Structure 1
Amino acid sequence: MKKKQTAFMKKRRKDYCLVPKKWKNAMNNVMTDENGKLQRDYWNILKGIGAFCVVLGHCAMPVQNFVYLFHVPLFFFISGYMYNEQKYGDAPYDNLKGRMKSWVKYVALYIVYILLHNVLGYYDMLRIDEPLYTKAQMVEQMAYAVIGDGNELLAGPLWFVPVLVIGSAFMGFVIYYSRMLEDRFKSKKIKFLFQGIVIGCSSIVGYLMIAYGWDLPAHMQIAFAVQPYFWAGYLLRNYMSDLEKYIKYWVGIILFLLLAIYSRDHLYSLVDGYVSPIMYLTAFMGFYVCMCLAKGICVLQKSNYLRSLFVKMGQASFLLMGTHFMIIRGIDRIYAGYHQDISMMYEHYLGNHNMLIPLYLVLGIGLPLLLQAFWNRLSKGVAK
């Protein structure tokens, strides 16, 4: 009787399995598929989730505290994961060279905003006390942009780009010197001990500088403070090939609820100086939640549109983050003009009206995606 009951229970478990059998293989390799496609899709989806959270945090005040717990640190974590030790471990300058492409895009987009500054100011798209630029001031602002200190309101979210470049380059040199020590002493323990000490000390120094309001060029203090995020990504990529089996949906749900409760009374913002030691814990919790969500989207074979959307958002994350401020601000300007009350533009500097949140999201994400698609097609045409 016991054997029959056991067999029956096994059949019941099989019949009521929540995950279709054809999905199981996909769930076991969405991060590390040997062919590369699913792996690229997964990490693009994860970047897409991060970009979505950035837009959401800038247009939906009710959830701002929640997404601010992890949205920008997520990009530092992904950058650390994308670091290839085999390729760059002994070539830190090659790593820096590759990262500088993002800096060039940052400067180019900033120059566009600087050239448009006076026009945007004339149409009340900037702060109420924002002065118009003379030609000399435009050149000065461009020089600041070149060194990573751009100061345009509508390009605000791009502050993280110099931080990402500097932070990734710094970690690359730490790994380079740790490998030298490993070769000299023939010990991996020395390698990781050196990495841990340097990463730990730099993050403490960076954190204290943020807490006390010391602002270095290109927000270098933030690049030091966020080193644990880079390092965690690097370690998972290079030394934890079975990472995916630890990504459990039920754990993600619990962490999501804990973050939602915690965010009711806490706001963290690296660039604004709102920091706490707990921010490291909440950021890693947020990473886990996002990785669960990315895994879920990646294995939904029947939801190709949703999967494709987040992949495209990940691929266009730079442009999306660099343009959504202007789009949201533009929606507010049209709304204020319709009501003939320009003071509505200055209640907040962004996302003034909760009723417009769906429009902020649709246009704030949709227009950059269209622009990215146009640019890709144009680039292919020029290449041909």
Structure 2
Amino acid sequence: MEPGYRSARIEEIDIIKALGILCVAAGHAAAPFARFLYLFHMAVFFIASGFCFKSRSASSLRNLLLTIVKKLRQIWLPFFIWNSIFALLNNFFIRINVYTDQAALEEYVQGKYIHPHKFMTAAAIWKVIKRGFFFREGTQIGGAFWFLRTLFMVQILYYVVEFLLQKTVKAHTDLAQAAVSAILLGVGYYCSLQRLYVNGFGKTASFYCLFYLGHVLAGHKSRLARLSWKHFLPAGGISFLCLVFLWTKGAISFAQLRYVNPGFMLISSLCGWVMLYSAAYFLRQVVSVKQLLLEIGKRTISVVLFHFLAFKLVAAVVVLYYGLPAFCIAAFPTLYGEKGLWWLAYTVAGTGVPIAADIFYHRLLDRWKALLPKPHDA
């Protein structure tokens, strides 16, 4: 889910990311098949990130440092900026019912995340901002920000390990990375069983192997490029059926670091990847659909940042439709998302509004840049 519009992009990866973020929004919107989506919807982003990994980024200390700076700009900076803004807006959010201090909310809506918010002092807000600088605290409206922290930590750890391996084992880095992945997965699973989060290390250890899986799959790009619908149709179908079967056997929550066992997580993740990769092949054949998905795929970080906030627009409509008190808008993540087709409205708003805002922002930015004097005009 990394921003960036100038680097070379891989079409099928952008399409997979688009499909993945639609799955994320639908899952958070309480779609009736949310548990099915949770089997793989976050995993595909770690795999996609590994698929785009380049060994030369860790080939020297200079390249490693440049890569770390790049990741800070792409992932940490948006996290810190928007976590800080959402913290600063806490009291304003209460006044406009994005949050609420009304305990009566629990009389209308029940759920794990349904609780009143408190007005925060300047000192409390500053504490959230300071902790956010180190990826240590977030806000409810930025509830998906945990993913940015985990992705950042997985990437940085992988690049550092790759740098060290290139300087030691050299020709056998892939095998060494496999060993590191296996060890970390064991550690991550132990953290999952013991509910040890350790500032996100449990997630980093668990999902490191998914980044490695993407790296391995990228080594077969040329073979994948030669495949046709005769391969992708059965592959996608079988993967879907496998996921349906796994859906009946267990559940996964990447955010809460809960999965049946390492094998269950890996198989679910790989099946989800194959299913979406196969779907991407067919969707690329329809030009209009392809272009739409490419636009979404380039802007998935905006959806991560703002989809919960965009959900509030639908919640306001739900309040008007059912004649509920205005403070019910504060229900999190959705208000009545499980009723009827409201989940679909939440999904559309949760993806469409952030992407439209992103496009609008970049068009304004481009126009502003066009108005600036060129160096040769000075």
- Specify the TM-score bucket, using the shorter chain as the normaliser: 0.7 to 0.9
Residue 162 of structure 1 corresponds to 149
Residue 138 of structure 2 corresponds to 151
Query: Bigger shift: 68-77 or 264-273?
Result: 264-273
1:109 to 82, 87, 94: 82
For residues 328 and 83 of structure 2, what CA distance do their matches in structure 1 show? 26
Residue 382 of structure 1 corresponds to 368
Query: Bigger shift: 360-369 or 73-82?
Result: 360-369
Residue 124 of structure 2 corresponds to 137
State the AA in 1 paired with 2:207.
Answer: V
Note the alpha carbon deviations across 1:102-155, whole angstroms, 9 max, x for none.
110111111221122112223332343222211111111111211112321111
State the AA in 2 paired with 1:133.
Answer: M
Task: Trace 1:160-309 onto structure 2 (pairs within 5 A).
Answer: 160-183=147-170, 188=171, 190-217=172-199, 219-238=200-219, 241-245=222-226, 248-264=232-248, 266-277=250-261, 278-298=264-284, 300=285, 303-309=286-292
CA contact (8 A) 1:297 1:307 kept: yes
CA contact (8 A) 1:328 1:360 kept: yes
CA contact (8 A) 2:57 2:159 kept: no
Q: CA deviation at 1:88?
A: 3.1
Higher helix proportion, which one? Answer: 1
The answer on 1:79 being equivalent to 2:49 is: yes
Note the alpha carbon deviations across 1:15-69, whole angstroms, 9 max, x for none.
xxxxxxxxxxxxxxxxxxxxx97x6322211111111111111113311101111
5+ residue gaps, structure 2, are 1-6, 100-113, 371-378
For residues 284 and 166 of structure 1, what CA distance do their matches in structure 2 show? 21
For residues 180 and 115 of structure 2, what CA distance do their matches in structure 1 show? 44
State the AA in 1 paired with 2:364.
Answer: L
Note the alpha carbon deviations across 1:273-317, whole angstroms, 9 max, x for none.
32222112111110110111111112x1xx322111111111110
Residue 105 of structure 2 corresponds to none
The answer on 1:315 being equivalent to 2:302 is: no
5+ residue gaps, structure 1, are 1-35
1:52 to 22, 38, 47: 22
- Structure 2 SS opposite 1:151: coil
CA contact (8 A) 1:92 1:169 kept: no
CA contact (8 A) 1:59 1:351 kept: no
- Structure 1 SS opposite 2:184: helix
For residues 171 and 111 of structure 1, what CA distance do their matches in structure 2 show? 28
Residue 31 of structure 1 corresponds to none
Q: How many pairs does the alignment contain?
A: 339
Residue 69 of structure 2 corresponds to 97
For residues 357 and 299 of structure 2, what CA distance do their matches in structure 1 show? 9
State the AA in 2 paired with 1:110.
Answer: N
Between structure 1 and structure 2, the one with the greater Rg is 1
For residues 253 and 265 of structure 1, what CA distance do their matches in structure 2 show? 19
The change in CA–CA distance for 1:306 and 1:240 in structure 2 (over 3 A counts) is closer
Residue 358 of structure 1 corresponds to 344
- Structure 1 SS opposite 2:253: coil
State the AA in 2 paired with 1:319.
Answer: S
Query: Bigger shift: 159-168 or 355-364?
Result: 355-364
The change in CA–CA distance for 1:312 and 1:240 in structure 2 (over 3 A counts) is closer
CA contact (8 A) 2:192 2:257 kept: yes
Note the alpha carbon deviations across 1:59-111, whole angstroms, 9 max, x for none.
13311101111111111111111111134333322222221121101111112
Residue 376 of structure 2 corresponds to none
Residue 29 of structure 1 corresponds to none
- Structure 2 SS opposite 1:259: helix
CA contact (8 A) 1:65 1:264 kept: no
Residue 12 of structure 1 corresponds to none
Give the root-mean-square deviation of aligned CA atoms.
Answer: 2.2
- Structure 2 SS opposite 1:153: coil
For residues 237 and 89 of structure 1, what CA distance do their matches in structure 2 show? 18
